[in-house]
Amino acid sequence: MTEQVETAPESATETRADSINVTDGAAAKVKSLLEQEGRDDLALRIAVQPGGCSGLRYQLFFDERSLDGDVITDFNGVNVVVDRMSVPYLNGATIDFVDSIEKQGFTIDNPNATGSCACGDSFH
Q: What is the pLDDT of residues 9-46, one digit of tens each?
A: 554 446 666 689 999 999 999 999 999 988 888 999 99
Which CATH number characterizes residue 30's domain? Answer: 2.60.300.12
pTM of the model: 0.76
Rounded CA separation 118/95 (Å): 20
User: Is the residue at 124 inside a domain?
Assistant: no
Q: Per-residue confidence at 115, pLDDT binned at 50, 70, 90?
A: low
64 belongs to a structural domain? yes
| Mean per-residue pLDDT, 87-112 | 90
Look at residue 18 and tell me if it is in a domain: yes
Count of the separate structural domains present in the chain:
1
Mean per-residue pLDDT for 71-93? 92
In this model, does residue 61 exceed pLDDT 90?
yes
Residue 58 burial (10 A CB sphere; 0-12, 13-18, 19+)? buried
In a domain, 69, yes or no: yes
Q: Which domain holds residue 40?
A: 4-111
35 part of a folded domain: yes
| 3-state SS class at 52 | coil
- Residue at 90 is within a domain: yes
Residue 115 near residue 42, CB atoms below 8 Å: no
| Residue 36, pLDDT score | 92
Expressed in percent and rounded to 5, the helix, strand and coil fractions of the chain are 15, 40, 50
State residue 40's pLDDT score.
83
Which residues, other chains included, contact 21 with Cβ-Cβ below 8 Å and sequence gap of 6+?
A: 8, 9, 12, 15, 92, 93, 94, 95
**Domain contains 30:** yes
95 within domain boundaries? yes
